[in-house]
Amino acid sequence: MPLDPVSGVFYDVQGQGQPLLIGLPLMASFTELFGSEMQPVLDGYLNRLTDRYRVLRVDYPSIGGSRDIAPEDLTADRVCADLL
């Protein structure tokens, strides 16, 4: 899965149609963080969404596959700027 070169946000894109942004708990590193036994849960959501939407799943900064940032820089403004 790709890593945005500017923000360092790890993401996954699946499906076609109108864009739909998803974060916690169905983020890009969902299976890695919650275990492969949870894959059917993720598949259940994606199977119902990807036929109608271009689903963009993102990891928040410093979580999952996203690059770490200093705790003092992890503000709401920074997260919004990185994700949007």
pLDDT at position 84 is 85
What pLDDT, on the 0 to 100 scale, is given for residue 51? Answer: 95
Give the model's pLDDT for residue 23: 87
Domain for residue 2, yes or no?
no
For residue 25, tell me if it sits in a domain. Answer: yes
Residue 74, in any domain of the structure: yes
State how many domains the chain has: 1
Structure pTM? 0.85
pLDDT at residue 83, as a whole number: 87
| Domain assignment present for 6 | no
- Residue 74: give the domain boundaries: 11-83
Q: What is the per-residue pLDDT for 28? A: 93
Question: How confident is the model over 13-72, as pLDDT tens digits?
Answer: 999 999 999 988 899 999 999 999 999 999 999 999 999 999 999 999 999 999 999 999
CA distance 70 to 68: 7
